[in-house]
Amino acid sequence: MSINLIVYLVLAATGGLGVGYGLRQTLLKKNVEEASKKAKEIVLEAKDEALKIKEEAKKEEKERRDYLEDIEHSLRRKEDNLENRFTSLEEKQKGIEARENELSLIKEKLISVRKEQEALLSKIAKISKDEARKSLLDLVEKEYKEEILRKMKDMEALTKEEADSKSRKILADVIQRIASEQATENTVSVVNLPSDEMKGRIIGREGRNIQIFEKETGVDVIIDDTPEVVTISAFDPIRREVARIALDKLVADGRIQPSRIEEQVEKAKEEVGRKMREAGEQAALEIGITGLPLDIVKILGRLKYRTSYGQNVLRHSVETAHIAGILAAELGADASIAKKAGLLHDLGKAVDQEIQGAHHHISRDILKKYGFPPEIIHAVEAHHDDIEAKTVEAVIVKASDAISSSRPGARRETLETYVKRLEELEGIANSFPGVDKSYAIAAGREVRIIVRPEDIDDLTAAKLARDIARKVEKEVQYPGQIKVNVIRETRAVEYAK
């Protein structure tokens, strides 16, 4: 390689390096200028943003300042109002205190004047203050007593008339909607025989058959001279019905012997049990009650063979439930509670020969045992007067029971019980002072009392009627209600000669 070429190459390399350096410096300068330009733009943008933030902060500060100034002004106004009211109250209190002082002075003056007047009156009348007060009260009482009593009597009569009118309308509607059979029960049953020869079979050799029959059934079999008839007597209607069915089957079969008697009595007991269950189910279905426990249905069905004053208790319970439901609907009470309590109110009568106690207490205990609601239990236990009725439904059941028991033809009494009740009514009336004569009339539904007019005035006669009615309620057992009628009559007689 020649020297010239080497030199040429060196120069070329040196020139290239110079050109590259120049270009690098140019690019570097350009980049620095662009970076500086961007930095200035960023600074300007930051300044703008800072100005915006500063302006917003000033605005918020101004708004807070204005808000605080408003609150301050409001507080000042309220403080001024409170000061004004406090000042006004102080002035009123001062006025009240001044008024109290004036009233105290006036009161003292009045007391002083009153004492002077009382002393003067005592001196003039020559009686003490207490004596004067007593005399004045006696005078006022004597003058206005009769007028007050008369007004009280008029108000009582008016209230009673309105209540009676409304209650009569409701009860009339209820009774018209009830159509119940009127049936009475006896304590004996009659079994017809195909011939008198059957009586000998019933008696059996040396009375063996009749003895076993009476032992198995717990009844008395009466065989007398009445042709083709045997009478079964028993106080328990269920035992009497079992005996009647068993004897009917024995007579129809003709084979009357000890083993056959025992067999037919057991079948009769099963049949009566089935009839009682069906009767209980039918009674509940008639009222529209479902879901009763089976034991309750069976006890209810036993009432088919139970009577009270000759009235069938099951029919009475169904009738009471109907009446209670209608009354509850009329009065806006709970008809479901009233109907259930009405149907079950005499449940205890089915077992009162086995359990000691009043039948409504027994009914209550039975319903408690089977978890009935308290409202139904109370309505059942309160249908007699020894337990106060505290709910509308309890009062309705009590009234429904009385309506069903006292309607015409519902019940009957023995002559002995009837006469005894009449004597008790007249005895109670005659026990009061001022009574001249008394008469129990209208089959014991009314007691008419004649008083001595010189001993009893008109106002006292009204009080006497109430007192006699209360005593009758406490001491006499009777179905329905009894009217107490007090009569005071004054006659003036003169003769022309």
CA nearest neighbour of 248 among 266, 226, 220, 268: 268
Between helix 258-287 and helix 294-302 the angle, nearest 10°, is 110
Q: How far is CA 94 from the centre of its chain?
A: 57
| Under 8 Å between Cβ of 281 and 297 | yes
CA-to-CA distance for 137 and 202, rounded, in angstroms? 87
Indicate the pLDDT class of residue 179, thresholds 50, 70 and 90: very low
Within 13 Å of residue 389, how many CA atoms lie on the same side as its CB?
A: 19
Q: pLDDT grade, residue 428 (50/70/90)? A: very high
Of 477, 449, 479, 471, which Cα lies nearest the Cα of 461?
A: 449
CA distances from 435 to 207, 419, 457, 476 (A): 61, 21, 12, 19
Model confidence, pTM: 0.49
User: Tens digit of pLDDT for each residue in 304-326?
Assistant: 888 776 678 888 889 899 889 98
Model confidence at 114, pLDDT cuts 50, 70, 90, reads confident
Q: How many CB atoms lie within 10 A of CB 264?
A: 23
Structure tokens at 3: 């020297």
Residues 73-105: tens digit of each pLDDT = 888 888 888 888 888 888 888 888 888 888 888
∠ CA 136-137-143 to the nearest 5 degrees?
90
State pLDDT tens for residues 24-39.
777 777 777 888 888 8
Share of the chain above pLDDT 90, in %: 12
SS3 232: strand
372 pLDDT higher than 90: yes
Res. 175: pLDDT tops 70: no
Which of 225-239, 252-266, 462-476 has the weakest average pLDDT?
Answer: 225-239
Distance, in Å, from the CA atom of 185 to the CA atom of 275, rounded to the nearest integer, reads 17
- Reported confidence tier of residue 443, pLDDT bands at 50, 70, 90: low
Report all structural domains of the chain as residue ranges with CATH numbers, in order of start.
188-277 (3.30.1370.10), 291-406 (1.10.3210.10), 415-488 (3.30.300.30)
Mean pLDDT of 216-226: 84
The predicted structure's pLDDT at residue 343: 92
**How does DSSP assign 415-441, residue by residue?**
HHHHHHHHHHHHHHHHTSTTEEEEEEE
Residue 373: pLDDT band with limits 50, 70, 90:
very high
Q: What is the mean pLDDT of the chain?
A: 81
Q: Given a cut of 90, is residue 375 above it in pLDDT?
A: yes
Residue 362 pLDDT more than 50? yes
Task: Identify the pLDDT of residue 184.
Answer: 42
Nearest Cα to 305, choosing from 202, 185, 211?
185
- Give, as one character, the DSSP assignment of residue 305: G
Residue in this structure with the two tokens 């709970």, named with its chain if needed: 334
